[in-house]
Structure 1
């Protein structure tokens, strides 16, 4: 069987659909519906994630699909601990604003998906990781992005629960010590998608102008 695909050209309609998905992707926290996500849809998300680029083609990721309520409650407990710690790091009005934000949907979403990185996969020496050993972690983040965009194309919401300690995720999900939990994602159907990111709407930070971030030739 040939490895060549007969047509790899992206049509105009396909290109526009991709950009729509990118620009309408949101970090969802408070709009999850109780509707279950069909297994075949979950499988498509995971397959999209598995087709992310990876350094040396090492494919360092694993995916833990979490539906059990008690397991998700353990993850939620870890969020509450880290959330309280984080609130104390902000001062004055910023702390007051932080405490008002809905920053996770662990119990409200239909399921969670934990994306991990096995840094030992493919051995100690990996093509492309020799000068920058963290490239395997970046590869797993690419899998996160693929999954997120695929979910948006399925009209599913995704939230990245980053306010939780890795050791708590390891304990809650039985992850071996040598495996790095890269992202715990909440996934489910939603009542609506915000037109702009919630933190932008709340005035926490504005979207930066692209022109201020682009450099040519040198910094």
Structure 2
């Protein structure tokens, strides 16, 4: 598939065919592409939890679901996904990397970072998985884990404290789903968000 077509087709998919698992070689390609993401100082401060078994996926939904009746319809289709990947960012990896001689920030202070690139870089990796899913004929959705559920999620999977989940991805073969109400907003035209030469110019 041409890259422009991959970008054009990318959307968040919220319903999956539960009877079609993601082939092992495709799972591997998703992860191989994720680690090709750029990272500050080539720190690569990320970690990916891959959940394929029905037992692991059910444990994830039990630990990380936001709850509330308004979410049940949304979760019904998402829970059918045969694959969940949770990308995590590790700030300590970046602070250590930038204390090395070629960078020289020996104090390891996060205040030196006007933007927390550990989150940015892990987001890049997640986006590469979203695009790879489209290229492989799959659907995927990136969504957040509610902060009040992070502790339960960590406990369920033994996630070390240094690793913060930036969200999760459901991945699988698409099934018919409802158009998201958010899409009624429409995509903002390029000329509304691009500023040439100066802001507003």
User: TM-score when scaled to structure 2?
Assistant: 0.79
Structure 2: tracts of 5 or more residues without a match: none
CA contact (8 A) 2:37 2:121 kept: yes
CA contact (8 A) 2:145 2:165 kept: no
Normalized per residue, the structure richer in helix is 2
- Alignment partners' CA distance in 2, 1:99 and 1:35: 24
The alpha carbon displacement at 1:131 in A equals: 3.5
Structure 1: tracts of 5 or more residues without a match: 1-13, 88-97
- Alignment partners' CA distance in 1, 2:76 and 2:142: 8
- Alignment partners' CA distance in 1, 2:196 and 2:153: 41
Other structure's SS at 1:56 match: helix
Q: 1:122 to 1:46 in 2, by over 3 A?
A: same
- The residue number in structure 1 matching 2:194 is 214
Task: List per-residue Cα deviations over 1:5-32 (Å, max 9, x = no partner).
Answer: xxxxxxxxx7xx1111111111111243
CA contact (8 A) 1:32 1:190 kept: yes
Task: List per-residue Cα deviations over 1:48-94 (Å, max 9, x = no partner).
Answer: 000001111001111111023233223223444x242xx8xxxxxxx
In the alignment, which of 151, 170, 177 is matched to residue 186 of structure 1? 170
User: TM-score when scaled to structure 1?
Assistant: 0.74
- The residue number in structure 2 matching 1:71 is 56
CA RMSD after TM alignment: 2.7
The alpha carbon displacement at 1:145 in A equals: 0.4
Residues 1:132 and 2:114 aligned together: yes
